[in-house]
């Protein structure tokens, strides 16, 4: 196990030294969730709980619930929440087979970092925990259906995904969700985005919007050791700022 700091040390989380490890993606995802104090939030596939804990630092007084099918990671999420003083319910279950207690609940926000990779297009990871987190078994369409069902009318869905999977993600949205907005995350100015963050609202009817990309790093290339994040991204990663979102 390792002990890892997030948000400039505001979150400290235990993670497997070998296996699936939350990183920048989880922090950026949490920063994109437009939650407000007092609201309810559900994370699908919460792993060791890092994303939800980062969200709790930025937005106080949330009712947090996480679903994680891998028992060791669910246990880590409970431990990490307790160590960081965050009240969070962790449910050990597959998202396709939720317990009745969860099927009877609705949430203001549902967010997720679904597996990035189709295993018809790549090799499986050697570590079972990492493979379960990164290799798709449950189709994106099911992730989106489960998320949509758990949202209250007017509730927000927030998802991060690799660019090559965005067509699948967009196809998985149906007419229950609208006003979808996609924020590409470009590694540097002039470079193609590798990730995108999607937000959509249940029951909304607005047209889809492709937003200008958020550039993560300064300069045309990596030239020196040390951080090169742009000031807005550094504020997200180190000061628990919200992800800059056009129109917010």
What does the radius of gyration of the chain's CA atoms come to, in whole angstroms? 17
Describe the chain by its helix, strand, coil percentages, rounded to 5: 30, 30, 40
Q: What's 94's domain CATH number? A: 3.40.50.150
Residue at 197 is within a domain: yes
pLDDT for residue 18: 87
Does a structural domain hold residue 245? Answer: no
**Contact (Cβ atoms closer than 8 angstroms) between residue 70 and residue 127:** no
What does the alpha-carbon distance between residue 245 and residue 243 come to, in Å, rounded to a whole number?
A: 6
Report yes or no on 172 lying in a domain. Answer: yes
On whether residue 62 sits in a domain, the answer given is yes
**pLDDT tens per residue across span 44-90:** 999 999 999 999 999 999 999 999 999 999 999 999 999 999 999 99
Give domain status of residue 244, yes or no: no
Report how far residue 91's alpha carbon sits from residue 139's, in angstroms, rounded to the nearest whole number.
Answer: 21
Retrieve residue 195's tokens: 């990730």
Residue 55 lies in a domain: yes
Q: How far is CA 86 from the centre of its chain?
A: 18
Per-residue pLDDT band for 248 (boundaries 50, 70, 90) equals: confident
Range of the structural domain that residue 184 is part of: 2-239
Is residue 106 in some structural domain? yes
248 found inside a domain: no
Residue-averaged pLDDT of the chain: 91
Q: How confident is the model over 136-181, as pLDDT tens digits?
A: 478 999 999 999 999 999 999 999 999 999 999 999 999 999 999 9
pLDDT one-digit tens code per residue, 184-241: 999 999 999 999 999 999 999 999 999 999 999 997 766 666 679 999 999 999 999 9
Tally of domains in the chain: 1
């Amino acid at each position: 196990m390792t002990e890892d700091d997030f948000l400039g040390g505001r979150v400290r989380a235990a993670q497997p030294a070998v296996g699936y490890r939350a990183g920048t993606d989880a922090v950026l995802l949490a920063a994109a969730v437009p939650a407000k104090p007092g609201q309810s939030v559900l994370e699908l596939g919460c792993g060791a709980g890092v994303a939800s804990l980062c969200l709790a630092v930025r937005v106080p007084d949330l009712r947090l619930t996480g679903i994680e099918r891998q028992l060791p990671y669910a246990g880590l999420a409970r431990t990490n929440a307790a160590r960081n003083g965050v009240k969070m319910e962790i449910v050990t279950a597959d998202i396709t087979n939720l317990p009745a207690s969860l099927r009877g609940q609705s949430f203001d926000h549902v967010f997720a970092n679904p597996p990035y990779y189709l295993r018809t297009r790549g090799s499986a990871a050697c570590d079972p925990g990492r493979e379960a987190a990164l290799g798709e078994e449950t189709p994106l369409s099911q992730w989106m259906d489960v998320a949509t069902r758990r949202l209250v009318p007017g509730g927000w869905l927030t998802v991060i995904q690799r660019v090559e999977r965005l067509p699948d993600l967009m196809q998985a949205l149906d007419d229950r969700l609208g006003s979808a907005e996609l924020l590409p995350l470009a590694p540097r100015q002039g470079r193609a985005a590798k990730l995108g963050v999607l937000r959509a609202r249940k029951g909304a009817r607005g047209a889809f919007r492709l937003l200008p990309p958020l550039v993560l790093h300064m300069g045309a290339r990596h030239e020196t050791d040390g951080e090169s994040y742009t000031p807005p991204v550094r504020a997200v990663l180190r000061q628990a700022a919200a992800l800059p979102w056009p129109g917010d």
